[in-house]
Amino acid sequence: MGAPSVAVADDGELIAQYRRGDERAAAELVQRHTAPLARFLAIQGAPDDELDDLVQDAFFKAFRGLASFRGGSAFRTWLLAIGANLLKDRRRQWKKRVVVELTVDVPDRSGDPASEAEAGWTAERLSEEIGRLARLQREVFLLRAQQGLDYGEIARGLGISEGSARVHFHHAVKRLKEKIR
């Protein structure tokens, strides 16, 4: 006989518990979604010393605005969209600052220094080009390619149609492919 299975509350249940005043539910939501949110912000060039604050602000804004969360998209998608908005606002403040440069550490799988250097160069170039994409293209691309969300979920999270999400993704891929060639 195996160990008794522990029921894991989904995000919707945790949100309901938090709304009833259970702070542990909010803490659990933070535990679940901090890493994906931080990763989503980091790949878009959020500086190291701002990443923590951005994550915190995104959660704070999300919990404070739970009344407006209709559940049309997943909590994570909604949270990522909030994070992307915050990042956009902060970028204006960072204009005069040096934008973080991702120093890409490429794992040495091939043992070929030339290949390693090339991969690093391409990744850095990709980072720059992702930053140059139009906002919706960038967000759709990363939600799809980095976070692995389906188009329907992306569309609901960003408030666009599924067809539009596909088009944005297509254009983003086309542009990035050209730029890193």
The residues binding another protein (CB under 8 A) are 23, 26-27, 30-31, 34-35, 38-43, 48, 51-52, 55-56, 59-60, 63-64, 102-107, 119-120, 122-123, 125-127, 130, 144-148, 173, 176-177, 180-181
Q: Closest separation between CB of residue 113 and another protein, Å? A: 15
Considering the complex, state which of residue 110 and residue 161 has its C-beta at the smaller distance from another protein: 110
Considering the complex, state which of residue 1 and residue 21 has its C-beta at the smaller distance from another protein: 21
Q: Closest separation between CB of residue 168 and another protein, Å? A: 14
Q: Closest separation between CB of residue 6 and another protein, Å? A: 20
Considering the complex, state which of residue 124 and residue 160 has its C-beta at the smaller distance from another protein: 124
Considering the complex, state which of residue 83 and residue 136 has its C-beta at the smaller distance from another protein: 83
Q: Closest separation between CB of residue 57 and another protein, Å? A: 9
State how far the Cα of 51 lies from the Cα of 39, in Å rounded to an integer: 9
Helices 23-42 & 48-64, crossing angle to 10 degrees? 140
- For residues 145-172, one letter each, b for 16 or more C-beta atoms within 10 angstroms of the residue's C-beta and e for the rest, the string is eebebebebbbbbbebeeebbeebbebb
State how far the Cα of 42 lies from the Cα of 153, in Å rounded to an integer: 21
* Token output for 162: 């599924």
The C-alpha torsion from 172 through 177 and 180 to 181, rounded to 10°, is -160
Considering the complex, state which of residue 34 and residue 164 has its C-beta at the smaller distance from another protein: 34
